[in-house]
Amino acid sequence: MLMAARTVCQMLQRRLASSAAAACLSSAELCSHRSALFSKEQVRQRSLYPRTEKIEVTLQGPGLQGTLLVMNRGLSTPYSCTRHLTEWHVKSSALALVDGQPWHMHRPLTHSCDLTLLTFKDDDPQIANQAYWRSCAALLGHVLDRAFKDEFSVELLKLPEVPVTAGAFCCDLVLDSRLDSWTPTEENVRSLTRDALQLIHKDLPWEPLEVSATVALEIFSHSRCKQEEVEERAAQSQNGTVSLYRCGDHVTVSGGPLVARTGLCSQYEVTSVHKVGECEWGVLRRAQGLSLPLNLTVRTSDICTDCERKLIFTMGYSAI
């Protein structure tokens, strides 16, 4: 009982401290701060492999079955492996399976393994498609984090795990209380789409980093919402770690792997921003969008309908 009370007290103290600290930093400064801590941990983890050790990577899949690559432990990634194959593999591989488990294209390989490269045109693209949908939502979070003037705070909540069949990807957020009455116009929504398309054109990698809860809490020390998400995901993880991803200088938490890079998006459109109601953090909003991956294009008029602009309901933060 005493331990539980102490834990709750510590959580409340941390959140109060994060609120005060966040008020002192602009959105740009927060992004820079988080990115710097991400880089620091990235360098530390790379230093764990001071000596070059070789591992054997056996490729699986059509046309590659049994191909053997000798790579560097802790340094080589599935993306590194594609560079020993063809340009098509480099550009089309969205995600990988390492010994049958989903693995990000830029996550270092730590042992000899079987490697399968996943694309959106596989016979069964379900795993790649779900990672793509998750990545589209993360990209929307990146856009929303920078969409408002620096004087206004933006809290990105845990990304809802929305199935592709739901009709839209989603990103939940709480804006500065001074924006509680804000209602986005069609031009506001189009502006969000333009910002997303700029990130897609830059073809930025999603950099993965598996970190301890302590490191993640430090990175998100200015965000009450993210600290709660970190604690929740660490508690659910078998080894107590949290998966972080960085795109440019934007760092986010993810409950599953993202695709390799923003350039794998082709058609991308933010369709709506809904006000859902009140939650513990303030006025809860849900931004939604539609997208198709590279080489799978249709006319925008065929995919952007009133159905996709309607609010998508998922399990997660509930309105009061």
At 122-145, the pLDDT tens digits run 999 999 999 999 999 999 999 999
In what helix (H) or strand (E) does residue 34 lie, and over which residues does it extend? helix 27-46
- Check if the beta carbon of residue 260 is closer than 8 Å to that of residue 105: yes
Q: Which residue has the tokens 């799978």?
A: 296
Question: 314 falls in which pLDDT band (50, 70, 90)?
Answer: low
Measured distance CA(264)–CA(94) in Å, rounded:
7
Output 282 or 313, whichever has higher pLDDT: 282
CA nearest neighbour of 28 among 150, 174, 143, 198: 150
Helices (H) and strands (E) in the chain, counts: 10, 12
The number of C-alpha atoms within 13 Å of 225 and in the hemisphere containing its C-beta is 21
What is the model's pLDDT at position 164? 83
Domains in the chain: ranges and CATH: 54-119 (3.10.20.30), 125-307 (3.30.980.10)
Q: Is the pLDDT of residue 96 over 70?
A: yes
Cα(206)–Cα(82) distance, integer angstroms: 17
What percentage of the chain has pLDDT greater than the value 70?
85
Catalogue the E-assigned strands of the chain. Answer: 54-60, 68-72, 95-98, 101-103, 113-118, 154-156, 169-175, 207-212, 241-247, 250-253, 265-279, 282-293
Over residues 237-279, the pLDDT tens digits come to 999 999 999 999 999 999 999 999 999 998 999 999 999 988 8
CA–CA gap between residue 314 and residue 171 (Å, rounded): 11
pLDDT for the residue numbered 311: 65
pLDDT at 317: 47
Give the confidence band of 109 by pLDDT, cuts at 50, 70, 90: very high
Q: List the beta bridge partners of residue 98.
A: 101, 115
Taking 80 as the threshold, does the pLDDT of residue 210 lie above it? Answer: yes
| Number of neighbours of residue 129 by Cβ within 10 angstroms | 21
What's the half-sphere exposure (Cβ side, CA atoms, 13 Å) at 272? 17
